[in-house]
Chain A
Amino acid sequence: MVSEVVGLAVNVLMVSSIYILVALGFALVFSVMRIMNFAHGAIYMIGGFVCYYFSVSMNLGPWLALPLTTFVTGLFGFLVEKFCFRPFRMDFEKATVMAIALVIILKTGADLTVGPTAKGMPPLVAGSIEVGSIMFGADRLVVLFIVCILLTALILLVRMTQIGQAMLAIAHDPEAASLMGININRVSSLVCAIGCGLAGLAGGLVGSVLVLHVSVADTILVRTIGVIILTGIGSIGGLWAGGLAMGTLDTLGPYFLPFVVSDPFGFALVVLILVLRPRGFFGHEM
């Protein structure tokens, strides 16, 4: 019993931490640029494949591949912001069309280069940890550890540094922020680079725990938006709660209910929360 609970808790924490990591990038981009980046899931998927390429095809090993993946997807995010999203900042509909064009390009690219086969990467750390009668891979704990460090660093970046304060200021009121001498373009570039870099890194981290497939793009996108809704649109500090709720729902749901029931049930819960409390747990009315 105890071992089962520990195993479940590790899974819940790992899934939640990945969700939080992806949702953080999405939420940062949304609050600073008011753009729903529907391409976020596709970038996560590409991150997984880029990491696979570096780590398996080029034989660099996971510990070199992960930073490289972050850099590549971050650079991609920087370019995307500069050439695709900057003209459509604050324009929800046009930015949506742009993001869909990106999704089409990325998914078709992945389809053509990788194909429909699922890929798996070697674990970050070999071996497994035994708690009572249940065993789980040590790499899950490593993933959890990396994500926790990254999240702490990001929260410190947003809360403590000047550029983080600039992000919050733009999220609060872009016009006033630019009057105070904040360069919105530069902050947007940084935010988009960080967001896409994190999504790519999350894709790479998950690649060693789960499988890589083109279809994960949609799955993670839906989860990310779910986390954003549960947290409250526009809130960054409360993402841990939304991520934890979504991760728990996703991990424990199939454990207690058959999969076919738990999936619609979880989405219905998200809709219910949206109807009853549109602000989510921490958000503010916009």
Chain B
Amino acid sequence: MEKKYGKNFSIVGLIVLLFLGPLILESYYLHLAIMVFIYVMVASSLRTLYISGQLSLGHAAFMAIGAYTSAILARSLHWTPWCTIPMGGLASAAVAIGIGFPFSRLRAIYFSMASLFFGIMVESSAGLAPSLTGGFTGLHGIPRLFIFTRQPYYYFFLVLTLLVLLVLYRIEHSRIGMTFKGVSQSYLAASSRGINEGGIRILASAIGSFFAGIAGASYAHYAGFIAPPQFGVMTSILLVVYLIAGGKGHFAGPIIGTVILYLTPYVMGGFQGYAPFFQAGVLIAVIFLMPEGMISLPGQIASWLRVIRKGRRVSFDAS
């Protein structure tokens, strides 16, 4: 019990620190923090799909659907962003349910491939209605949530991220979350216990897509400009990389992965051009040294220390 309280205490401390952030950080760092919040939301929502056994390679498409729905509603109908952001999330979830029926037949790599091509299809279909979506050059002049300064945005995204993470955490540790994991581990065993496998997978992708849509929509009203390449193949694959490199087996995995991997190029401020090399180096180090992702680093360090002290190799990975 003591250990658990200690963990809770450190999480509360971290949140308090995050709330105090704008007092010391400059505007540029606030922007980075906001982008990290957005990608943390999307990567964590991707994990909801992942625990139900669906590794989606097109998750950024749901960001795009949310962003475009919200932006178009706010821009053409002049609705307030506070109203259109949830509608963006709902639109994402509706699309996820719509494609979920055919996609729930596909498992493992076939699902990944189908979602990859769905993502590409969504990206390229922005050109279908240029008057609405702005075509491939992007959509300008999206109404913003707040005027000018970044501090209200920072607090908005901080609160939103904490809410989303709380909901996702509760879902994962509820009965539904257990069912997701059951379907992922053995769909035969799950369906023999009376679980509707296809329905559960559609539910998981609807939940994941809803929060990705919310994140995308709020991004649109923060940046004021969206373009299809922002939600392209590489974004989708990078989200999967954040999830796997951070540690797919733990709720905090995608959060840590996103924070570290998103910020690494910016840490090398003076060498902007060479910064992606650093990111790639971190990725390579992670998969070679930390089989369970960055989340396993403390355990790994303990195991390395044991090796150094006792002079023999202690097996770390449980598999």
Q: Is A263's CB under 8 angstroms from B124's CB?
A: yes
Whether A101 is near chain B, meaning CB under 8 Å from some CB there, is yes
Interface residues on A, range: 35 or more
A106-136 Cβ-contact flags toward B at 8 Å (1 or 0): 0110011000000000000000000000000
Give B30-60 as 1s and 0s: 1 = Cβ < 8 Å from A's Cβ atoms: 0000000000000000000000000100000
Q: Which of B278-319 contact A (CB under 8 A)?
A: 279-281, 283-284, 286-288
Interface of chain B: mostly helix, strand, loop or mixed: helix
Chain B positions 207-259 with a Cβ under 8 Å from a chain A Cβ: 232-234, 237-238, 240-241, 244-245, 248
A210 adjacent to chain B (CB < 8 Å): no
29 contacts between A and B (CB under 8 A): A87-B288, A88-B287, A93-B248, A96-B237, A96-B240, A96-B244, A97-B283, A100-B241, A102-B280, A104-B279, A105-B277, A107-B276, A108-B276, A111-B273, A218-B232, A218-B233, A225-B113, A225-B117, A229-B113, A259-B127, A263-B125, A267-B117, A268-B121, A270-B117, A271-B114, A271-B118, A274-B117, A275-B103, A275-B106
User: Is B121 within 8 A of A264, CB to CB?
Assistant: yes
How far is the CB of A176 from the nearest CB of chain B, in Å? 21
Confirm or deny: A226 has a beta carbon within 8 angstroms of a beta carbon on chain B: yes
Report, nearest first, the 7 A-B pairs whose CB atoms are least far apart: A260-B127, A264-B125, A267-B121, A101-B283, A108-B276, A101-B280, A104-B280
- Asked whether A145 is an interface residue with its Cβ less than 8 Å from the other chain, the reply is no
Give the chain A neighbours of B284 by CB distance below 8 A: 84, 98, 101
Determine if B124 and A267 form an interchain contact, defined as CB atoms under 8 angstroms apart: yes
B102 at the interface (CB under 8 A from A): yes
Interface magnitude class on chain B? 35 or more
Chain B residue nearest to A268 (CB atoms) is B121
Q: In the docked arrangement, what's the CA distance between A222 and B276, Å?
A: 22
| Number of interchain pairs (Cβ within 8 Å) | 105
* Complex: A259 Cα to B126 Cα, angstroms: 12
Complex: A108 Cα to B55 Cα, angstroms? 27
Whether B128 is near chain A, meaning CB under 8 Å from some CB there, is yes
Structural contact, B287 and A98, CB atoms closer than 8 A: yes
CB pair A275–B114 under 8 Å, yes or no, is yes
Contacts of A102 in B (CB 8 A): 280
What is the CB-to-nearest-CB distance from A284 to chain B, in angstroms, rounded to a whole number?
12
The chain A residue with its CB closest to the CB of B119 is A267
Beyond A87-B288, A104-B279, 17 additional contacts (C-beta under 8 Å) are A92-B109, A93-B244, A97-B245, A105-B280, A108-B273, A108-B276, A112-B273, A229-B117, A259-B127, A263-B125, A267-B117, A267-B124, A271-B117, A271-B121, A274-B110, A274-B113, A278-B110
Contacts A87-B288, A218-B233, A270-B117 given; does A93 touch B55 at CB 8 Å = yes
CB distance from B223 to the nearest CB of A (A): 22
Is A94 part of the binding interface, using a Cβ–Cβ cutoff of 8 Å? Answer: yes
A214 beta carbon closer than 8 Å to chain B: no
Residues A119-177 near B (CB distance < 8 A): none
